[in-house]
Chain A
Amino acid sequence: MAADIIRLVDVSKVYGDGDATVRAVDDVSLLVKEGDFLAVMGPSGSGKSTLMHILGCLDVPTSGEYLFAGEDVASMNERELASIRNRRIGFVFQQFHLLPSMSAWRNVELPLLYRAARDRKQTAMNALAQVGLSGRVQHRPNQLSGGQQQRVAIARALVTDPTMILADEPTGNLDSRASREVLDILTGLHKSGHTIVLITHDPNVASVAERVVEMADGHLKDRVAA
């Protein structure tokens, strides 16, 4: 039986206090197993971004239990969170977030700088090859198309061989052809055994996942994948 990667039990995230209290994430429970491809879908304001921050260990829940690959994340301090993000999670953002002054391979190398890693350049090159960008390693982000930039970002997420890839609206800034490319890569990664959590508002994007959960007003409901 596959190991639990994400185990959320009654997790809430509350902002503000008094009358202005907002329960962005309200009593959410979720289980993601190794090798899963899960899409979290919901309109803006549904709390899916807040959930993504908690899942990505970028933020800690106000209450509830969160075990990431067996580690208790809810009680971690900033240093430990930084370490778990580095070791375990590969991020893909809507805005790509590549550093404009660095070449593609330097961008991919970035997470390796924050851990003990050997052969960083070779590892980065391998990750770029996985997303089909071996011919663009020396290019700066502004010399690459949107789709290529997002593929560099995926390579950066892959380079640390993470336990989970967390993609937040990865196609949000891309045209349909580039979106297709990116989703194909994610599907391919899933087939080769990676655990992927995809956050999106778009049902067509969510449809590539095995399993879709829907977020509305901070609550989560399971939905069978289309």
Chain B
Amino acid sequence: MSLLRTFDTGMRGLLGHRLRSILTTLGILFGVAAVICTVGIGTASADSVNSRIASLGTNLLTISPGSTTSFGVRGGSGSANTLTMQDVTGLEDKADVPDVAAVAPVVEGTATLVSTSSNWSTTVQGSTPGWLMTNARTLSDGVFFTQAQVNEHAQVVVLGQTTAEELGATVGSQVSISGAPFDVIGLLTASGSTGFTNSDDLAVVPITTAQDQITGGSPDSVQRILLSATSTATIGSAYLEADQLLLQTHHITNSASADFNITSASTLASTAASVTTTLTILLASVAAISLLVGGIGVMNIMLVSVTERTQEIGLRKALGATPRDLLRQFLIEAATLSFVGGVLGVGAGLLAGVLVPRLANIAVTITPTPVIIAVAVAAGVGLIFGVYPAARAARLAPIAALRAE
């Protein structure tokens, strides 16, 4: 029997059993669409978690002072005043801390900013040019202050987006902070609210100026030191190098009694990453189960259909069909159902990928891999369970097949 005629026979076999063909196609369709959609949702949430973590800066370390002990009572972390500009200078020495890319000391206070049109009370941080990199921030306009401006106690300020909007300030305008006039030289790009603080509502000035006019205190002491490792991969060694250096310069032999703490965003990142992994596994399992259920549905219909058609197989054999003719016919029927179901399933999955975000406000990111896997599995199940029982029936003696009930 020629292939073309087998194909024709297969198609007529499908059209002759419309309901069954539709049910099988639907089984494959929903299996494939469910996988594409659930994995798409999983991928989208993983992406969004990852990008939020990246915005925290996964290669950042924060050194804060340790606690003080007075009269046997340990104060809270940060109550000691142990970090100095000498520490900052030490950490800037590449020879001791090769994996640290940037260092920025920070002093912080709250002040009222006044512009020509309004006033606004916010956090003012004093720092050095390293601040931008160690906070993983960028500027939307203007420039950041330079080391020269730090050295000369320049009256310049860089504003967060919210602060700038509240004050109606732009690059080139002037604001007064605690009564002193400052030139606005730069605006920070909005980063969104991360964690507990609104990182878009702040003002950054040279650390020297801040110590003079806002936070007060010794020009030598800093509240915390921000470090940025050369990459996410080197954050561990950067941590160890900084720890080593500070223990040494603070003359501390037992690291348990260190008068400083080093924390990293990567601790948070790894927690979040494991949450994301769990989420992805969960969604992938849901998808796998829906594919399995779809596959079992297809398997059932195929098995029933072939069993139901044992008589047909017997008759065709009696009329001269060879086992190969029959196998081909059922292969074509199963392949067509799988193919049509798979294509419609991909279509439905992609459609869901467009509709779900609009209707449910859930992001869906469709990647090729789950699409390919879903189609392959569904088509494979359809083919195997369409062809295997048919192959068995094709080997039956024609008489036995004809007599089957």
Contact = CB atoms under 8 A, between A and B. Distances in A.
Contact of A78 (B311, B312, B319, B323): B323
Interface of A: 53, 56, 58-59, 78-79, 82-83, 85-87, 91, 93, 97, 99-102, 106, 110-111, 113-115, 156
A113 B5 contact: yes
13 contacts: A58-B397, A58-B398, A59-B397, A82-B321, A86-B319, A86-B320, A91-B319, A93-B402, A101-B17, A110-B315, A113-B9, A114-B316, A115-B320
Contacts of B398: 58
Given A59-B397, A102-B12, A113-B9, A97 B321 contact: no
Contacts of B9: 113
Contacts of A78: 322-323
B325 interface: yes
Q: By DSSP majority rule, is chain B's interface helix, strand, loop, or mixed?
A: helix
Contacts of A156: 319
Contacts of A86: 319-320
Interface residues of B, number: 25
What 8 A-B pairs come out closest when comparing CB atoms?
A86-B320, A101-B16, A114-B320, A111-B319, A97-B315, A82-B322, A58-B399, A58-B398
Interface in B297-320: 311-312, 314-320
A101 B305 CA distance: 13
Interface in B1-47: 1, 5, 9, 12-13, 15-17
Given A91-B319, A110-B319, A114-B322, 13 more contacts: A59-B397, A83-B322, A85-B318, A85-B320, A97-B314, A97-B402, A99-B312, A99-B315, A106-B12, A110-B316, A113-B9, A114-B1, A114-B319
A114 B321 contact: yes
Contacts of B323: 78
Contacts of A87: 320
B325 A114 contact: yes
Q: By DSSP majority rule, is chain A's interface helix, strand, loop, or mixed?
A: helix
Contacts of A110: 315-316, 319
A83 B318 CA distance: 10
A136 B402 CA distance: 26
Nearest to B394: A78
A106 B5 CA distance: 13
B324 to A, nearest CB: 8
Contacts of B1: 113-114
Contacts of A79: 322
A82 B402 contact: no
B139 to A, nearest CB: 73
Most central of B17, B311, B399 by chain A CB within 10 Å:
B399
Most central of A53, A91, A100, A114 by chain B CB within 10 Å:
A114
Contacts of B15: 101
A158 B15 CA distance: 27
Interface in B78-104: none
Nearest to A117: B5
Contacts of A53: 399
A133 to B, nearest CB: 19
Interface in B245-304: none
B317 A82 contact: yes
A142 to B, nearest CB: 13
Contacts of B315: 97, 99, 110
A78 B177 CA distance: 100
A91 B17 contact: no
Contacts of A115: 320
A56 B18 CA distance: 34
Contacts of B5: 113
